Structure 1
Amino acid sequence: MLKGSSVAVALMLLANGAVAKCSDAVVDLRWDGGSARFNVEIADDDIERGRGLMFRESMGRYNGMLFVYDAPSTVSFWMKNTLIPLDMIFLDQHGVVQRVHENAVPGSLESIPGGDNILAVLEVNGGQSRKLGLVEGAQMRHPAFSDTMPAWACE
């Protein structure tokens, strides 16, 4: 009987993501009242970060791009050659959302400041943050934060 109960608890934990493994291709976000998971492409060098999501005509609802820097820094983005509106989610070295910029205008050369001490930026479809209720203070789980005492650690 104890074995059956243990299996039931393990299945429940798996269903709730409590023992989920991290993957470079997935980010998990959680906040009071919500959570989300996005499949991501990684941009972790100057060339990939420079190109970003330029020239894309569409992106899946739960897809995005995670820009990862070598060290926390002051970052800003623009939308040159970007064809779709994007939400930009700026995260510190612990994976905590510091700023959410909604619906960046396609093609705009206006600088969008992310703030200081930013280690990563998640770009998702414009309006997605608001639909989900994603707010500052949310936590991200991803291997990019594994060396920085993450707020939500990978298993």
Structure 2
Amino acid sequence: MKLYKFELENFIAYLDKLKTDRTDTRHRVKFKGLLADHYTELLNDANDINLDYVIKDKDGNPIVENGKYTFKNDNERLSELNKLYNEEVVIDETEERKAMLLSVKESVINRGPTEFTGIEGDWYDRFCEIVEQIEYKDEQQ
């Protein structure tokens, strides 16, 4: 299963909206943990990129103007961040994850909100596309 790093935060938030029973809730929480690990890595990598470009004073402290950091080569920095956010995250479909992934697939498609407005509908469609990638030969749990 593949998704992009920029989708992680919204996918995690969507998973919080699902109404699941005990077993499916445990699967959802484990899956969220996998996504959260990738999201933490993304935030750390983005922070490292920003630190590489932040302008510092003579003492090595970042310069803040109008409550914001100032950056050198901002276009280059933004290009690096864009590449980072568009990297793929791969969740391997191992036998150990089978029950969890199939549960999450069913929950995302069938247990979320029944009505959406605006961008929420677009995100729901994308999350369905993501979990529809999960294909075990025998989808019986």
TM-based fold match above 0.5: no
Report which structure shows greater RCO (CA 8 Å, sep ≥6). Answer: 2
Higher helix fraction: Structure 1 or Structure 2?
A: 2
- Give the TM interval when normalised to the shorter protein: under 0.3
TM-score, normalised via structure 2 length: 0.23
Higher strand fraction: Structure 1 or Structure 2?
A: 1
TM-score, normalised via structure 1 length: 0.21
